[in-house]
Every structure is written in structure tokens, then in C-alpha cells.
Chains A and B, each alone.
Chain A
């Protein structure tokens, strides 16, 4: 009897899955076009899955092994089940293989179930609590119905009672695994996730590319909206990406804004986008909400404003303004979802179309427009910090080996100390360097993260024009934000440069024997990785190598390297200043204090400012350049 039912069930489920798939694809296609190569993407899929995605998943050994067993088992079992039970191919080999696949899946599902016994806070509940049972149903069901095919048990077992029970298991399993995959169940992640990998909007990330995923707006293109107001204004592959989310909450666990009790949770944000693309409310969401924002009050649809002009929309603006763009979420996401560019896309709309940059945002943007620096300092005073250093200025010398990009820290008394230390090091190593002087402008980083793409582009283009007048081999800067923007974002506007963060450059000077250090006698040191140097640009080693070479043994924080916790200073967050329960820099200082170090070495003016803003008593905050400058043994001047 089962022989009659099984093909029906299997092909019925497959049919429903196809219908669901088509419907889902239509939802994605509400999004705007995106020029991704379809075939090349599909071809790259296996590698992206096995290498890149696995690289992230493997950080959690438990779940990665479980996933290989369950997922691998399921894929094999599904194909074999279609062959053995759907097409009724009477092959012993296939039947045995199917038994093996379902066994693997069963074992995996047991581990999935175990994780769900007392699930960590970050995991969503709801339908996801059902998934292990569904997996068990599928694997047990197909295991049992396959037994007769192998001849291990007599076909007699096809008695109707048993057949009924088995059919329920099979229907349940098929329902979750095939139907649920395209109709919005937890298994959707497999379908959307695979396609998302193939059609990823920032494909360069799979080859170590360091782009931001912030695509330039083309202001002369009338068709293109200025940022994203409605879900349908995301590109289709962004929408697809949201759908891939498995609600694992790894992003949530790493998000500094969430931990600080600000109204942001990257997982919820992605789920809200899923609600938006399909239409509905967030009532069914079964994970941690945005701190301070109860569920069930927000709703949206593909063509409704995400941030309502009146009443409740899908999100509140403060959710978007809480993000520090630290990319901890992106770094952690096993589904390679890009939260930050989505957030910036939505901020662009708020800033460019509505002029609603909160708190000091508007003032900062006005300052940038009027004075080319965010704090409105007289642009002619950019060189004041170096009045006594006689730095060569490019407008005089025209060419140099190294262009020292000062950044807006040049206006800040604290950062001036770091800059001066850097100058001291460059001089000690006899580097031929020069600065742009008052011709330098803000890199545009803050403007861009605040969504003001117009001001960003204006700054970028003018900086590029200035740079084009001079000849230099590389740019060195102590500001990771300038570093990232110059290195990775100016190329969209024709600016291609060799850019080094000062820690990389100084480390290079050391490696080539241009610097000598005295034995280190200072206090114990930990190192804080700036987001824009570490996660954005993958530079974790140079600062550590450099400190080690200076005789300093870095005591690592628990959250360091790619898991470093943001200082709270990125993405204009200190400017938009969304209140939470605690301050991000205070939390970071706690991380630092836990190491017992007396000094925290940093490599970013913003981090320095944020961490120094933490009240005493606390470890001393020193830029790497300051630490190294103190260690220099300067060669005796020739007599």
C-alpha cells in the first residue's frame, strides 16, 4: 500500500515546493535589479558553500558537525528517496544508501534536538523548536519505509496501521522539508541560502575582497531611489539574502548595540526585512526583540514605508541609528547576510529624502559641507598641530614617497599626540613623507555611514582631485576609517591608491631594519582591534607583531581579533547617540579591565576618544604609535 502512497506524497510535496518556490521568487523579484552574473554565481556555489560558509560555521564545532550530518544526510536522503520511493527504482544499493543517509540525518537531528533542550538566548524559538522533531520524523519515516526495500524486514510490515503511522511521519517530514522550504518554514534557509550564496551582492567577499557593499548612488539616474524607503527598494538579491537567515542569533550575540540595550538586534532586523518582503507583522517572531520594543506593534509590506512617516511602520528609525557599522554581525553570520549595507541603505533614505539624521547628525553634516570637517573647525587650522614640526607639504614639494594622511584627528588635541608620535617614528626611520596640509578634507566616512551619500561623494571626489595633482607611492594613516575609505571606497570614483594603516607601515619599517627599540619597561598591554582595521580590512597581525617586536607581550581580551567588540565610535553612532542601558565604550573597557592590563593599545583616533571617555580609574589608552615612539632608540646624529 505504501508503494502507492509514497510516490504520490513525494511528488505532491515536490510540486507544492515548486509552487512555493515560484511564489517566493516572485516576492524577491519585487526588489530592484542587480547585475550579478547568474551562471557564474551558480558555478561558484559549491566552493562558496564548502569553503567560505563552512569557514564561518566551523567556528561553532558542535553546530558545524551537526549540520554536516543533518544537512548532508538530508540532501542525500531526499535525492535517494525520490529515486527509491518516488520512482520506485528497485535497487538494493540505493536502498542501503538511503538507509545510511537517513541514519546520518537521524543522528544529526538528535544533536539538533539536544541543542534545543536548553537553547541559548540568541536562538529563535517558535517553528524552530519544531524543526528537530520534523527532522527526526523525516529520517525515521524514510528509514522505516526503506527497510522492506532492502529485504531486511518482510513486506508484511506494510500492514495498514503501520502504513498509516509511517505516512504521518512521512507527510510531516516532507511537509517541513519540501513544502516548508519554499513556503516560509525554517527549511527556507536551505533554498534561499543556497541561492543567496550564488547571487550574493558582494561576491568579492568570497575572494578576500575588502569592499563595503555600500554601492555608490548615481545622482543623475532619475530611476534610482535615494536609499531604501520600502522593502521593494532593496535589490532582489538583498531580499533573497534576508530570506536566508536561520535565526541562529550569532549576530545578536555579537552586536554591541544590542548588548548596550539600544533598540537594535541585527537578527530581528533581518527578520523584519523578511516580514517586510512578504507582508505582515512581527507578532510571530520568536527571538529576542529590540531592547525596549515589544513585539506585535510593527508591521509592513513590500510596498509600505519601512519607517512610517506617521504611526508604526516596520522599524523605528532609532533602530537604524543605533548601529555602529562595526560589522560584528556580518562577520558572524553563517548565511553571509549583509546587515550593514542594508542599514546604510535605509539611513540614506532618512537622511537624503527626509533630512532626518537625529541628534548632532544634521549639524555634523552641515559642518562637513561648510568646512570639510565634522566639527566645523576652521579648515585653515588643520595644520595647527604641526606648526612646530616643519612637515613638508605636497603643494610645495609636489612629490613624496609617503603621503601621511592626517585625518580629522588633526583637529583633536588627543589625537595630535598620536600624530606627533607617528611623525617621530617616520622621521626616525628616515621615511620621505609629506602631508596635504590644509588641502586635506574629511575622507567622507562619517557622511557615508550617516547615509549622506551626496556629501560623501563630494568629499571623495574633491580629495581624489587633490591627490591627482601630486605624486606619491603610498598613503599612510593612523585612522582606520580614512584608511578603509581611501583604500576600498574611493576606487568607485576613480581613486586607486596603495594605503597602509600606520601599524602595518611601522611594522614594515621595523621588519626592514629601519627602527630599533629599547627594552620595554612600561606596564602590561592589551590590544583593542578597531573594527575598520580588523573586520573591515583583515589586519589583525601587524599591530600585534609590532608590539611583540617592541618587547610587549599582548594580553589578549576574550573578544579580540575578528571577535573584537566595537568601541561604540563607528558609523556616526556617537553623533546620533541613541540611548541604551549602558554605553558601549564602558562595556569595552570592562573587557579591557578583565585582562588586568595597565595599558590598552589602540590604532584608531575614534577608539582612543571613546575609550578615554570612560571614567577613571581605568587602564591608560595609548595609540600604538605612541607606545612605539617611546621605545625608539634613535641613531646618534652624525657628528
Chain B
């Protein structure tokens, strides 16, 4: 038997045959625009997955059926109008052309939304109970509204069908309206829509019947449910089995999607899209439990990232199909690569959750490591073709994310690439990020680049801080500087960096400086590095206070990631203090005194500690750039109009014969940003070399 035969076993769902067992499950893409119509971007995004071999795409996470489930916050797809139908036709054609199937998740989100914008909607929920994640209040839904919404579901399903999609998935998960009715935690009604089990089931059942009635037997209708709400007053696994069996018995459901955990608190939300702190497939047992009681096929997604894992799960018969959703965000060609035997070339999702954390901020979903994802429409390629022009000598300085991506892309283009890195290994700041507890999978980003650069025969010069002479000795046609920066702890002289009173977060994570016993971590940035440093120190036994002048430590970290930091920090008694700025540090005997100033009252406080760690972001390293700038043909300038339009840099047409070369700088050595920005800089710049 072949290694991945279980993955490539086609499956019948309703009347539909799906070519393999892999699903990209519903996720809010946050790029349906113009009142919720799918765009060219949307179509290309899904077409890429279909081209890459994905069996089934369930698009349109949380696509709305009614106008009182606001569409605009997450630019989700709007099925409340017939205008959507022709858009669906484009989408369906694009996916079908490559042999894929496509369905859409449809829902009414009830209270799980915001009311303070757009139509200033009055949100509805069975008993008017506030939802904490979105801080949203709502009204108690009235029977007339219930009937209207049931009708809206049916009409929405008809639109999906008329648009040529292959099916709909009713969301009864993540605390949308259907499972708001199910859950006794939020449904306190005493009428026919609440109270007893049958009554709580009624709304979902009526929706299911109405939808099935509308679309007939030949169109797929599935349901996504959770396996256990993980709330003492919520639905348990046994409850969910009962519910699944109850709906399955109608014969109206063609498949069940099952995921673990409820999601109406910050803490449970983190379970739903498990980040890198979770083990592989943490909630498979819940899906398997549901599969035991239903006849319809069961799909499960949650941390299924690699083909061996998928094969093992399918072979074990735990579920019928595996969702590999972020796996496809990170690499839409994952299935094709499995088929081609190019397992090593798969860009595996590392669970950084950049994608989902952007979604919760209402930003378009992007991948931390793959800058082409969701930018297919702009012409950013997942597979980079060889240049038809001249082959150049490209020298890349710096092996962090920007430099690694630049080297990869230039080498894929067929150029001769040398990559200088000062450290003994590639990765740059990713290497640091991966040093923290629970963050080790960040290194997966580097691992992929290592394999790719080796495959592409990039000439790696590790342990080499290239200087001007070394660079020019290579006779480069193009020089790319991606040397990053240094921790910026000198910004406030009173901190005492020059006197050695403070150390940087990098020094700690790198192991250069031994953790102190009693440590104050001062974090002005409130992203991963500060939290990671506090976590690292406390893990090593330090007593840590994490102080920020911002509103909350970790404030800039997204909704699926700060909870897992908190889960790690609180048990280790890390004290988190906000609104205090580090005023100055001075030495007193063996101890250090940190003077903190309250942002709002100006009042000073002191902490006596034996180590002060400052996380104040990065200062770009510009020396090499200014040494080379005047000698370069283009004076180091990037034509940003061309860059933003994903067009070739005009200076590429100039001759770089002899000593002439072009110079570009990218990533943090320009201005400190993040991993995605660094990689995007590199990809859009180098793809036309």
C-alpha cells in the first residue's frame, strides 16, 4: 500500500464525490468586499487551493444569511441577497476547473458580533445574554424574528445552489445562533424555543428542514458542531453526541464537521484554532466520539498539519475527512506536493496564528510565512518560475526571514545566490523567538528555508558578517541587505544601558545573559518578545514582574495567542503590571533599583531587583547600507510604486556589468516590522529578478 493511500481515497458526501480526504474548512477570509460579494482575490485564493489538489474547500467562514447578522466587520460573504449568485458562479467554476469541490459555511451569528457600526444592528440571541469576546450586548429574539431567520437560511442555501456551489455547511459551532439555542448556558427561554432538549433543538431543526426543503436531496447540506463546550454550564461531550445523533437520525445531514471546544470566552477561543503551544490534533477524540454515533461522514480540523499525521488519523478511522485549514493557508499546494513525493518542500504551518489573529482584528487573513497566500490575485506566485532574462549573481546579506526569502526567491528564479549570515545558523529573530517556552515551533519557518535553500543550491556562508569588501569580492549584480537590527535599549539614557544596568530581551532568550533571581521585564512593545522573555525567565525559576506602559502586557498579541501566554505565566506567578513607564535604573549595592512612573498620575514607584530586562523593539542596522549606497547604480532606492503594484523594479533593466550593482534593503534593517513584512518585502521585490 502506498504511504498516503488513506488520504487519496475519494469519498462520497451526499451525491458528491470528493477526490481525497482533505478539506480546507471554513475560515473567515476577511476579503469579500462591496457588501459581501466575493472578489477576484477571493476566487483566486480558492482556485489556488483547488489547483494545489485540495479535495473540498468550505469557503466563507461565518457567511451571513440575514442582514441583522452584520457582514461588514469581517468582510464576510453576504448570502442575504441574490446579488451574490453570479459571484458564486465565478468561484465555483474556478474551483471545479481544477477538480476541487466547494461549499460555503452559512450562519446567523446571533449575539457573536458587534452592533456599533454599519447598520447599527440590534443583535439577537435566545435570551439576550451578553457575549464577552466581542463585548456585545443583544436583545432577546422574538418568535417572528426566528421565523424570518429560518427563512433567510433557506434562501441563502438556494443562492449557494444557484451559484453552482456544491453545498452548504450550517454553522452550529463557535457560539453562533443555532448553538446559542442549543446551549443551556445562553438559552434560558421558557417558550417552545428553549427549556427542554427538544425545544432547544428546535431552531436548528427548523433551519435544517427549511434548507433541505429548499435545496432538495441532491445538494449537500452539512453541519458544523463542537465536541464539548468546555464550560461547566455548557454542552458536554455526551450532550453533543446526543445532539449529533438526533440530527443525524433525520437523514437530512450529509456530513458533520466537528471541532473541540466552545468559543465564547477568550480562553476557550484559543482552543478553537490551537496555536503552536498545543499538541497535534488535541481534540480528535471528541470528533471520534461523534463519529461513533452518526452515520454521516465526519470532518475534523484542529492542528492537523502534516501528511503522515493526516494519513495516521484517516487510517485509524477516527474521522472520515481531515481539515487541514491553516496547513493550506501556509501552503496551498500541500496536496500536490504530497502527490509529487515532495514532502520536504511543504511549507508547514507552524501555528503562529498570524492568520487568525489578524482576522479577529478585522484584517485580511495572511500567513506569517507565506506572503503569496491571499495575494494570488496580485500576481504573487506560490510557484516561482525561472527567469527568461539574464542570470545574475545575487548576494544576500543576513539570514533572517527577509534574507532567507530573498535568497529562496532569487534562486528559484535561476540566479546564482550567495547568502551571508553572521550567526552559525539561519533564522535571525525567528531563532530567538523559538527559544521561548511553547514557541519552539517558530523554528519550523527556518527549517523549511534551510531545506529549500539546500535544494536550490544557494551558497550559504554562515558565521560570516560580510563587510563591504567581501560583498564586492563576489562581483554581485544585485546586493540585498537584510541584516535586521539590534535591540534598542539605548533609547532612554536613564535606563542605563551604557552602564550595563539593563540587558535586552535578546540577551536573555539567546542565553547570553544568565537569568537573574528577581527580574523586572520592561516591555514597551507588548508583542511576543516581552511575553516570551517573561515566560522564559519564569520557566528558568526567576521571579518575574512584567511591566508595561501600555494598557496590558501582551496587548498587541492576537486573541488566540495571548490566552496561551497567560496560561503559562499565571501559574508561575509572573506579575503583570500595566501603565508604568520605566523612568530610570540605578545601582544600589548589589541590587538594581528600577524607578517606574505611572503614565496617568506621574507618581513614581520603585522596584528593587537583581536584573532589569528591557524589550523596546529593534533599531535597524544601517551601517552597511550607507557604506554601499552611493556605489550602487540605484543608490539603494526601491521604486515603491512598482513594488506596491507587484511590478518589476525599473532599475532591473540597467546593465550591471563590471563593478556595477543594484542595492536593495528589506526587512527590519529598513524599519522594524514583523516576520510577515520581512518575507513580503523579499517576495515582491525578488520575484521579478
Contact = CB atoms under 8 A, between A and B. Distances in A.
Contact of A381 (B9, B19, B341): B9
Given A384-B8, A388-B99, A388-B100, A413 B339 contact: yes
Nearest to A384: B10
Contacts of B17: 387-388
Given A387-B17, A387-B19, A387-B20, A413 B10 contact: no
B2 interface: yes
A417 B8 CA distance: 13
A387 B10 contact: yes
A619 to B, nearest CB: 15
A376 B1 CA distance: 7
A521 B388 contact: yes
A417 B339 contact: yes
Interface in A373-393: 375-377, 381, 383-385, 387-389
A288 interface: no
A381 B9 CA distance: 7
Contacts of B5: 377, 381
A414 interface: yes
B18 interface: yes
B1 A377 contact: yes
B4 interface: yes
Nearest to B340: A417
A416 B100 CA distance: 16
Contacts of A412: 2
A199 interface: no
A411 interface: yes
Interface residues of A, number: 17
A444 to B, nearest CB: 22
A388 B19 contact: yes
B13 to A, nearest CB: 12
Contacts of B18: 387-388
Interface string A494-528: 00000000000000000000000000010000000
Nearest to B12: A387
Interface in B1-27: 1-2, 4-5, 8-10, 17-20
Contacts of B99: 387-389
User: B interface, how many residues as a size bin?
Assistant: 20 to 34
Contact of B341 (A383, A388, A414): A414
Contacts of B98: 388
A416 B2 CA distance: 13
Nearest to B101: A388
A377 B8 CA distance: 13
B10 A411 contact: no
Contacts of A381: 5, 9
A384 B9 contact: yes
Nearest to A389: B99
Contacts of A384: 8-10, 19
Interface in B387-443: 388
Nearest to B98: A388
B8 A413 contact: yes
Nearest to A411: B2
A413 B20 contact: no
Contacts of A411: 2
Contacts of A416: 339
Interface in B50-72: 55
Nearest to B336: A417
A97 B499 CA distance: 117
Interface in A385-421: 385, 387-389, 411-414, 416-417
Given A387-B20, A389-B99, A413 B9 contact: no
Nearest to B11: A387
Contacts of A389: 99
Contacts of B10: 383-384, 387
Contacts of A377: 1, 5
A417 B101 CA distance: 20
Contacts of B2: 411-413
A66 B108 CA distance: 93
Contacts of B340: 417
Nearest to A385: B8
B116 to A, nearest CB: 45
B583 to A, nearest CB: 60
Contacts of A375: 1
Interface in B97-111: 98-101
A388 B50 CA distance: 11
A543 to B, nearest CB: 23
A85 B335 CA distance: 85
A416 B20 CA distance: 14
Interface in A185-217: none
A377 B1 CA distance: 7
B19 A413 contact: no
Nearest to B388: A521
Contacts of A417: 339-340
Interface string A278-321: 00000000000000000000000000000000000000000000
A540 B283 CA distance: 58
A376 B2 CA distance: 10
Between A376, A387, A411, the greatest number of chain B beta carbons within 10 A of the residue's beta carbon is seen for: A387
A622 B151 CA distance: 54
A389 B20 CA distance: 12
A414 B19 CA distance: 16
A387 B18 CA distance: 7
Contacts of B339: 413, 416-417
Interface in A342-397: 375-377, 381, 383-385, 387-389
Contacts of B4: 413
A292 B650 CA distance: 66
Contacts of B19: 384, 387-388
A375 B55 CA distance: 25
Between B10, B20, B340, the greatest number of chain A beta carbons within 10 A of the residue's beta carbon is seen for: B10
A75 to B, nearest CB: 61
Contacts of A376: 1
A381 B18 CA distance: 13
A414 B100 CA distance: 20
Nearest to A381: B9
Nearest to B18: A387
Contacts of B341: 413-414
B355 to A, nearest CB: 27
A388 B340 CA distance: 17
A413 B1 CA distance: 11
Contacts of B8: 384-385, 413
A382 to B, nearest CB: 11
A569 B9 CA distance: 27
A389 B99 CA distance: 6
A328 to B, nearest CB: 30
Contacts of A414: 341
Interface in A407-466: 411-414, 416-417
Contacts of A385: 8
A377 B6 CA distance: 12
A329 B9 CA distance: 43
Interface string B329-356: 0000000000111000000000000000
A385 B339 CA distance: 11
Contacts of B101: 388
Nearest to B385: A521
A119 to B, nearest CB: 46
Interface in A79-112: none
A437 B370 CA distance: 39
A387 B5 CA distance: 14
9 contacts: A377-B1, A384-B8, A387-B20, A388-B19, A388-B100, A389-B99, A413-B8, A417-B339, A417-B340
Given A388-B17, A388-B18, 17 more contacts: A376-B1, A377-B1, A377-B5, A381-B5, A381-B9, A384-B9, A384-B19, A387-B18, A387-B20, A388-B98, A388-B101, A411-B2, A413-B2, A413-B8, A413-B339, A413-B341, A416-B339
The 8 closest A-B pairs by CB, nearest first: A388-B99, A387-B10, A388-B19, A387-B19, A413-B339, A384-B10, A387-B17, A384-B8
